[in-house]
Structure 1
Amino acid sequence: MKSFLTDSALTNIVNSGAFGKGCYFVSFERDLNNEGEDQFQSIIVYGTIKVSDGRYYQVIIKINEGTLENMNIDVQFHNEIQMYKKIIPFLMSFNHHSTKHYTQLFPKFYSAIESDRDNLEKTMIVLENMHPQGYRLSENRLFLDFDHLASCLRAIAKFHALSYTAKNRDMNTFKRSIEGISSTAWDSNGQWVYPEKSLTIIGKRGLNRLLERDPAKYRNHKNVKKLIYLLDNGYNSLRQTLLSREPLAVLCHGDFCRN
């Protein structure tokens, strides 16, 4: 992998001006102490790129795993590349006083390579490593504490606010900017990539704990019954969730989780 990165892809990326005009690739030192955590849809490589003007860049390189066909990984990479190349610059282009609060929502995007289906493992995205700025994954993998949840919700709210700003300022360009985003959740037969029963199992994991804690209070609670119905009818619930409803529709991440 390192040979591929240094000898071809990274050399081309640096020499094309991604790290400054006139700079060329000198070296890439992989950081084996910081490998990707909980990754199963991509290979995550940490390292430092040195360029000819003497500067160093700490980066994260996401490489297509290329082995999980049912997960539509190539489409996911395509969507992410479109986000960094096209959509985020558009969302951040409005000269609004509040945009200064959004500068840390996204890592710096340096470059990307999108290969054809016969060379998916050469598809990659090169991003700023946010670790030096203090960003870390939560140590708790299953249940986040309130502070982490609140931080996540604030970040999502800021991201969604960018959609509202863009729609208000330039609805036509907003619509065009998201045309290249494709759904990754459904196959050609209209089925979700996971069995429907998995939605029920995952969803009821937390709900069952609530019922065990105080069955008399929650067993016949109207909202609990509504939630059970939604979980038992997983595919229909998902489709309803994905329908755009104006004026509240926004561009969503769709899979906001720890990894």
Structure 2
Amino acid sequence: KNAELVRIIEDSTEGKDQFASSILFVVIEVRTGASKQTFPIVCKFQCEDEVRREQFRTDFQFWNEVLVYREIMPMFPINVLDILPEFYYGVSTLMKAPEDDVVIVENLIPRGYSQTREKVFLDYDHCALAIRKLAEFHAGSLLAKSKSQLKFANKINELKETRWYIKAKEENNLYFRENAKRGIIPLVKNGEHLEVLNHFMEKLNNVYAIMTEVFQVNEMSVLCHGDFCRNNMVFKYEDDHPVDVKLFDLATARYGSPIIDISFFLCLNMSSELRREHFKDELFKVYCDILQEVAGTLAPSSQELWREFQQKAAYGYILAAFFLPIMVDTEPFNIDNRLKLTVDEKIKNSVTRGGEKATNLLSELVRDLVDWGCLGCDDSVECHE
């Protein structure tokens, strides 16, 4: 407030095009009275390509991000706000003038934050820190919902659906089903877990129903990041050890089960070794403990959360089944070429991407979910511990 822009110093870092937006890193100098200050900022704009904007529903993504930063996060406890970069400015015209849409937040790099050197699988310390922060974020949502019930509910209802909408139901069902089968078929051919996996493959005929069930509102529902993975985190280090993490990119934020965020992070950024040794008895417990520590009696019990995980962890696998092969593939992913393909061509390319390595990673994921009692777990089948 009452600050005058003196000049814009463009950073040496060039703007980076992402799937759904264009990013520019700049430094601005402002004057307040006699004093001057510089602010390193990140500016996110709509991409110019109309096909991309329509494919990724970026008009709705910008709407969501501005809504969360400007209207929803101020209802969170002050200490929880520190999980995100500082929000400076945002505009969403909701399709009226996409060229004017912008989100401006603090650039955390000058403060010593950076993305991990590892592109896919994070070690225990990184995972534990990320899970702790996620629990704080979800706890903040429970506290905000309790304190400002009507206002919170009204703002949550303004969030727009960016992926699982009716118009895309048929294509999503086909595409995500075929990708999800990639990790299952080798196990079925090997005679493993036939009853559970055949039951799950039947359910995959309606992926849309599996995914939207996770969005159904209940007492556990929280504001979820929506894309909680390594790509949307920056860590701060001391002596090469991670001591803090901040989240960014709230464009696909949604309200629903906390398992939305937990399962995606688990399936995409935890190796099979780390999952098996540390997830259920350690990392999941860390999440439950922090959630209860911050939200108190508003938090569900660890038993209730584990049951919720068993019922809904398939969400993370279904997303990872197409995204994990992209992350481990040696060939760069060309989004513009993909947008030109038919659905059948997209599927053909996707189910072979990353080769045998990707297939094996997905099969290991399926094994773990079966062992935890997830893929056969629904209202008609009793979950086992």
TM class by shorter chain equals: 0.7 to 0.9
Rounded Cα–Cα distance in structure 2 between residues aligned with 1:236 and 1:152 = 29
- The within-5 A match list for 1:3-152 is 17=1, 21=2, 23-33=3-13, 35-36=15-16, 39-52=18-31, 53-66=35-48, 67=50, 68=52, 69-92=54-77, 99-100=78-79, 102-115=80-93, 117-152=95-130
RMSD value, Cα: 2.9
Q: Which amino acid aligns with 2:61?
A: Q
Match of 2:223 in 1: 251
Q: Go from structure 1 to structure 2 and tell me whether the alpha carbon gap of 1:57 and 1:193 turns closer, same or farther (over 3 Å shift).
A: farther
Match of 1:197 in 2: 174
Segment drifting more, 131-140 vs 189-198? 189-198
Shift of 1:156: 1.9
Tell me if 1:242 matches 2:227: no
Rounded Cα–Cα distance in structure 2 between residues aligned with 1:224 and 1:135 = 42
Q: Which amino acid aligns with 1:145?
A: D
Q: Which amino acid aligns with 1:136?
A: S
Shift of 1:142: 3.4
Contact 2:63–2:94, Cα closer than 8 Å, also in 1:
no
Contact 1:186–1:193, Cα closer than 8 Å, also in 2:
no
Shift of 1:110: 0.7
Equivalenced residues, count: 225
Aligned to 1:49, what secondary structure does the other structure show? Answer: strand
Shift of 1:51: 1.0
Unaligned runs of 5+ in 2: 233-385
Unaligned runs of 5+ in 1: 1-16, 93-98
Rounded Cα–Cα distance in structure 2 between residues aligned with 1:106 and 1:46 = 17
Contact 1:63–1:123, Cα closer than 8 Å, also in 2:
yes
Match of 1:178 in 2: 156
Rounded Cα–Cα distance in structure 2 between residues aligned with 1:42 and 1:75 = 12
Rounded Cα–Cα distance in structure 1 between residues aligned with 2:129 and 2:14 = 24
- TM superposition score normalised by structure 1: 0.74
Contact 2:45–2:103, Cα closer than 8 Å, also in 1:
yes
Q: Go from structure 1 to structure 2 and tell me whether the alpha carbon gap of 1:90 and 1:28 turns closer, same or farther (over 3 Å shift).
A: same
Rounded Cα–Cα distance in structure 2 between residues aligned with 1:147 and 1:230 = 35
Match of 2:375 in 1: none
Runs of 4+ in 1 over 4 A off after TM superposition: 204-209, 221-232
Ranked by relative contact order (alpha carbons within 8 Å, sequence separation 6 or more), the top structure is: 2
- TM superposition score normalised by structure 2: 0.52
Contact 1:28–1:49, Cα closer than 8 Å, also in 2:
yes
